[in-house]
Structure 1
Amino acid sequence: FDLITEVGKGVRGADCVHHIRNQFGQECGKIIYESKRTKDFSMEWIEKLKKDMRSTGVDVAVIVTQCYPKGMDCFGEKDGVWICSFDEVKAVSYILRDGIVKLFSAAKTQENRGDKMHMLYDYLTSTEFSEQWKAIREGFMSMKLSIQRERDAMEKMWKAREKQLEKVMLNAAHIRGSIEGIAGTDTIQLSLTDDDETLLID
């Protein structure tokens, strides 16, 4: 949760300090508020609040007033300080808070990105990565060689079976020719398959 601290009376500085925190409890930045209930706006307020801003190390300064400086009729920024009315302060504080949180997150992302790049570089150049990659490569080459050996063995076996099949079909053709020469083709059907196709020898 955010923290708002009130500046005590007699203490130099703004009326209160808004400590902005994200959902992780990290402080993202600070906003100082100073309220003015007068009929006329004084430009000296801006310079004074800017000094308070620098001395306290805050990110944003806001003057909440019931009268605007010349040239302004609603909330806005002037000379590095935000100015708004009492009716607008709630919406303005929400907008400024959201911007500070987003800037903090963006800065953290860039910071972490740099750390991650260094960590990644260190890992990629480490002995651990080198050994792991070597093990992966050796496993890959072993699998590739094993597959190639199996393929070669299967092709050799297929060729041997093709030779055996050719030999069987050749002998079957000789037997069929001999039987047909004796009995004739009308009295007996010989086929190695379920249909009555003629045996073809390549």
Structure 2
Amino acid sequence: MSLLQPRAVPIFDLPDETAGHAPHAGDERCPWCDQAIPHEKFLHIRDRIAEKEREQHALMTARLKEDFAREKAALAVQVRAEAKLAADTEIAARLKAAEDARLAAEALRLSAETSLNQQREVLEQEKTVAVLAEQAKAFEERQKLMEKLAQLQKQIENKTAQDIGEGPEADLFELLRGAFEGDRIRRVQKGLQGADVIHEVIRNGQVCGKIVYDSKSRNAWKNEFVTKLRADQLAERAEHAILSCNKMPQGQQQIHLQDGVIIAHPQRVLALAHIVRRHVIETHELRVGNEKREEKSAELYTFITSDRCRQLLDQIVLQTQRMLELEVSEERAHRMTWEKRSKLIRAQQKAHSDLCFEIERVIGTGAEGALADDEAVTD
């Protein structure tokens, strides 16, 4: 029972015989002090009590709604957290399962490779002397092809110092020394002033002139590369200077002339070296003067930087790549031929073994029959 409910019996449920009879003054009791009060006063107090109860009910309802909303929000947060935890756990389990599967596949692959290597070793042991001799010869040819392949790949890919561990100038030095065996080509030691490579052109035992080279493998172009090589060219009194660089000046590609220095992509350096070397030999044999030599050099540089020269050099690179692909295909075809020959030899050996077995079996049966006939005659 509410504390605001009147303790006196309300007069709204009077017996039927009193219906229509106006209450007397003082017949009503105050719900608070239990004193007799007029009916109008009682109605006023009752209405106020009812209003207070409605206000309290509304307040309690709002408070219950707030509590319910808070509990609902907290429950939602908890549900989301539990769902996230469950999802994370499932993802972790799936990742672990995937990793386990990957490790198992890797182990299976390694096992298959080991088994394959063992089978190859067994097959190698079963080959005849003739096949071994032929394969030895083929192996030597393949080694030569692989060396040439590595050299061509080095030219095409322009390996950097980090790739080979000696620096790009080592690549350039080996490339030039292999191409011009009769010339004097030397590297400038680390820490000393000068270009990376000094190329003295030799013709009939005489020095015709010099070409200096620098090799740069950088992430960005710097004009200091040209300034430094130009100074080295003047110090060496060289006829030409070639800068091999994987990064060209802005707006330039493959070949560019700057301050008297030929800037070229590493793929173009060897072809340019052939061109300028021939120019050095011809100007030396013609014994042209310095003025005429500079004029010829200017004409040569104009041609080198022309579209025609670029097209020809592109054709050289393209044909080199095709030669490389042809050598790879040829090597693959040789390998397939060796494998087929090895299978045929094994099949021939097995057939020969089966034939010997059948002959021995027949011979053994004939001997036993002859022995049985001799015993019968003796008896």
Instruction: Give the TM-score normalised by the residue count of structure 1.
Output: 0.51
Query: Residue 264 of structure 2 corresponds to which residue in structure 1?
Result: 84
Match for residue 53 of structure 1 among 233, 248, 259: 233
Deviation string 1:145-171 (CA, Å, 9 cap, x unpaired) is: xxxxxxxxxxxxxxxxxxxxxxxxxxx
Which structure 2 residues correspond to residues 152-163 of structure 1 after superposition, within 5 A? none
Any unmatched runs of 5+ in structure 2? 1-181, 290-379
RMSD, matched Cα:
1.5
Q: Which has the larger radius of gyration?
A: 2
Query: Residue 189 of structure 1 corresponds to which residue in structure 2?
Result: none
Superposition deviation, residue 108 in structure 1: 6.6
Superposition deviation, residue 95 in structure 1: 0.6
Which structure 2 residues correspond to residues 83-102 of structure 1 after superposition, within 5 A? 83-102=263-282
SS of the residue corresponding to residue 273 of structure 2 reads: helix
Are 2:230 and 2:259, in contact at CA under 8 Å, matched by a contact in 1? no
Match for residue 3 of structure 1 among 166, 181, 184: 184
Superposition deviation, residue 71 in structure 1: 3.0
User: Given the superposition, is the C-alpha separation of residues 106 and 46 from structure 1 closer, same or farther in structure 2, using an over 3 Å criterion?
Assistant: same
CA distance in structure 1 between the aligned counterparts of 2:283 and 2:185, rounded to whole angstroms: 20
SS of the residue corresponding to residue 225 of structure 2 reads: helix
Please state if 1:74 is matched with 2:247: no
CA distance in structure 2 between the aligned counterparts of 1:19 and 1:50, rounded to whole angstroms: 17
Query: Residue 104 of structure 1 corresponds to which residue in structure 2?
Result: 284
Match for residue 30 of structure 1 among 210, 228, 231: 210
Query: Residue 90 of structure 2 corresponds to which residue in structure 1?
Result: none
CA distance in structure 2 between the aligned counterparts of 1:37 and 1:45, rounded to whole angstroms: 11
Any unmatched runs of 5+ in structure 1? 110-202
Please state if 1:18 is matched with 2:199: yes
Superposition deviation, residue 57 in structure 1: 1.4
Superposition deviation, residue 99 in structure 1: 0.8
Q: Which of structure 1's runs of 4+ aligned residues deviate more than 2 A?
A: none
CA distance in structure 1 between the aligned counterparts of 2:256 and 2:276, rounded to whole angstroms: 11
CA distance in structure 2 between the aligned counterparts of 1:107 and 1:47, rounded to whole angstroms: 29
Superposition deviation, residue 76 in structure 1: 3.1
SS of the residue corresponding to residue 88 of structure 1 reads: helix
Which structure 2 residues correspond to residues 118-137 of structure 1 after superposition, within 5 A? none
Query: Residue 108 of structure 2 corresponds to which residue in structure 1?
Result: none
The structure with higher relative contact order (CA 8 Å, sep 6+) is: 1
CA distance in structure 2 between the aligned counterparts of 1:99 and 1:55, rounded to whole angstroms: 21
Percent sequence identity is 31
Q: Name the one with the larger strand percent.
A: 1
- When the two structures are aligned, how many residues end up with a matched partner? 108
Letter in 2 for 1:13: G
Q: Name the one with the larger helix percent.
A: 2
CA distance in structure 2 between the aligned counterparts of 1:42 and 1:16, rounded to whole angstroms: 20
Query: Residue 113 of structure 1 corresponds to which residue in structure 2?
Result: none
CA distance in structure 1 between the aligned counterparts of 2:279 and 2:188, rounded to whole angstroms: 24
CA distance in structure 2 between the aligned counterparts of 1:77 and 1:5, rounded to whole angstroms: 24
